[in-house]
A and B are shown apart, each in its own frame.
Chain A
């Protein structure tokens, strides 16, 4: 080896903020052709922001981006693509009504000498591409029927046909079976041989060890370390990923833990989760840990009546219940704060008061008509209780910060007076200050006798807050720890399906 190879992508001093949240700060990063580079970090570490900057969707606030040795300003996805950067997202961006070949070539169909679309050549080239990747798909297959794994393969084929020099895979294995993951890795190895640089964003450390040459750890938007995979082990990686001062978060207060409020026995939804059992007590915080796609939200949805389990039992306060709908769940004292507060948690064009009272309209109306004073009173109570910073309860929620929006969602569900409160990633996308506040609130609620299920992909949060931790991996319970037993390493291992 004479000269060290030139990086194909080089980032220096990249920073990006959204509202009050600094997503990335002073990030340096280099990607070389022919390497598989893993980007690791917890939720909120800044991985997906980095990816979106590379993809041309976001523009960095500061710093330099170099592609192929030249400084560039990535202004649009089309431009990034033209520079040879291809990104495969978790949700593939394909055209469901068209076949594989057209999806690969949309916008640049091969043409014959008359200028007509050359279907034969298009299908032939795509078939060749797919065969060279050892993929058993036909170019004629309609994309709509493809599984997520197959759709990813189509995206990869598209990237190759675009002569991509960099392929970014954003959490590609989240929705794949282990067999499909093997297939994907075989292709990634091929790409490496072809000199393509692959950026592999993932939580899953076992996969990182299988496929990556080097890895980079991000934490809280900063670059922590970059090292060859062969020179680092799992414990060290985890330490780098989570190594923040736990005292940043509000430590859990003492709550009196009472009788069993909720008992779940062998709950099963085939293909989603299996044999989930646990007990939840009054005043207890039960942490549901695990990776994205482990099935935790799915369990919550069944508890809340949005989906139905095929087998298993749910017992509330000693009585067996069949929860038919969200309204039914609410009547039984179960409340669910969903993952996605934009899609599911809030009506963005509604005021704080209107959002807070949506599930309890009956309580704020007299003779069928809404009583605005009662609405405002209830909204105001929760607003001050949870310290929601706003211009008043009539302000529209889309004007609030993420943290305050989440507090509105919390208020809404607290107003239903539940005995069981399920929180799904309650501090996702919120800045550190608001996070602490939310944790304080959760702790308080437990102290007042609420039984809480805390679903979270952020280890420190789970460890700091939970009395009990249940870990799910691919739909099964792989670990149960009490507060004292739970350590970061143990939980991470169970979450990644490792056997010790």
Chain B
């Protein structure tokens, strides 16, 4: 059947609908790449301004992104299933305010109770999101855009009926101490973020349900065919995102001490930036907690670097935007390159 020696391959399979995807190995390349970018920034900036390289400064960076990282962990879970949660900023804002106010009104209260309250509030808000998306079948982007507004308005309503602002002097020292305590010399905030990342990351790697999240995002139809309960999983990830936003809100109140109804506005942009830069595919199915956290760290380092180099903070927003665009463009080129290499390798074989 072959005359010229080159085998004519019959019609190839239809191209996949939607965005091209990166195989798992390339995700690991992505994490390595992020580390390299990090090192790169550190080196360049370090040469210009040696105080960038101090332990103190690294601690500053990690402190500044700890809360963002916690939210990014929750967002990653949602994005893995091919959804998005735009209401994270509002959820953090409301839980921060409510928790701080709670501590202000009941100063003698058990610290743990206050923390649990904040987390529970976040959980409930997240579950509402989950209900709207999975059982209400409202597209995630529409649903969470709506709850972004609603939850933010709720903070203002609460603030209007209670107090416009909670100050550092209003809350018990124990609460504020959450942000400043050090355990084994490492700030508690960073440890908490690290523990959250490790736990969720481990869950994604080592549990059946965690693996099913990847399946749901990678090929929802195939997931259905093998009986994966997509509705339940999607509900769960939104609930988890809410819970983590609750925790982040509690920590936010502790760290920034003065909390009003506008806190954490716009946080969703930073979270999506961290997640996309961290290599999590916006169409679901691939990405890691490590990547998202690294993405947050890279962005935090950039911000810190700008500070140190006395470059105006006004470049920061632009850099965030450029980072997202570059990350997506790079992803596309790498994916296409990988696909072409694999195709040609197969042809030679």
Contact = CB atoms under 8 A, between A and B. Distances in A.
Contacts of A474: 1, 8, 10
Interface stretch (B146-154, B164-172, B223-231): B223-231
Contacts of B223: 95, 106
B8 A272 contact: yes
A111 B209 CA distance: 12
Interface residues of B, number: 44
Interface stretch (A175-183, A369-377, A399-407, A433-441): A175-183
Contacts of B285: 95-98
A272 B205 CA distance: 41
B346 A147 contact: yes
18 contacts: A93-B225, A95-B215, A95-B285, A96-B285, A98-B211, A98-B214, A107-B208, A107-B212, A107-B226, A107-B228, A117-B205, A117-B207, A117-B208, A271-B9, A294-B10, A295-B10, A298-B11, A475-B10
Contacts of B222: 93-95
B8 A476 contact: yes
A363 to B, nearest CB: 32
The B interface, classified by DSSP as helix, strand, loop or mixed, is loop
Given A96-B21, A98-B214, A106-B211, A148 B13 contact: yes
A385 interface: no
B56 interface: no
A251 to B, nearest CB: 32
Interface string B16-59: 10000111110000000000000000000000000000000000
A95 B217 CA distance: 9
A116 interface: yes
The A interface, classified by DSSP as helix, strand, loop or mixed, is loop
A145 B215 CA distance: 17
Contacts of A95: 214-215, 218-219, 222-223, 285
Interface of B: 1, 3-4, 6-14, 16, 21-25, 205-208, 211-212, 214-215, 217-219, 221-223, 225-228, 281, 285-286, 338-339, 342, 346-347
Contacts of A76: 227
Interface of A: 76-78, 81, 91, 93-99, 102, 106-107, 109, 111, 115-117, 142-145, 147-148, 174-179, 270-274, 293-295, 297-298, 473-476, 497
A430 B169 CA distance: 78
B211 A271 contact: no
A24 B13 CA distance: 28
Contacts of B205: 117
Contacts, number: 129
A94 B8 contact: no
B211 A97 contact: no
A111 B286 CA distance: 22
A37 to B, nearest CB: 24
Interface centre among A97, A142, A298 (most CB of B within 10 A): A97
Nearest to A476: B8
A111 B24 CA distance: 21
Nearest to A340: B14
B207 A116 contact: yes
Contact of A78 (B13, B226, B342): B226
Contacts of B11: 174-175, 272, 293-295, 297-298
A123 B25 CA distance: 16
A96 B211 contact: no
